[in-house]
Amino acid sequence: MVLAISTNIWLFGTATLVSLSAFVGLILIPAMGSYGRWPEKMAVGFLSLFIFGTLVTIGVLAGIYYVLVTQDITDVFPWSGG
């Protein structure tokens, strides 16, 4: 059985994996390595994930606001034929 998955799903999935791996490799692991005791590591892990979630939420809200206000995203992508 072959699944028909659109190109957008592949692109968003790849972008998600790249973003998460960059976050873990560049922020979470070095931050947790800076502390020795496990309560400190748990706290810094929680705070890092909290900040990551906050940044993702800000990005999603900014995107929703832009789409709702302009009602058009064809100016963002010149190749979209708009």
10-67 tens-digit pLDDT: 888 999 999 999 999 999 999 999 998 999 999 999 999 999 899 999 999 998 888 8
Instruction: Provide the CB-side half-sphere exposure for 76 (13 A, CA).
Output: 7
Residue 2 vs residue 65, higher pLDDT: 65
Can you give the residue ranges of every domain in the chain?
9-80
pTM above 0.85, yes or no: no
pLDDT for the residue numbered 43 = 94
Per-residue pLDDT averaged across 74-82, rounded?
63
All residues at 6 or more sequence positions from 82 whose CB lies less than 8 Å from its CB, including other chains:
72, 74, 75
pLDDT at 75: 67
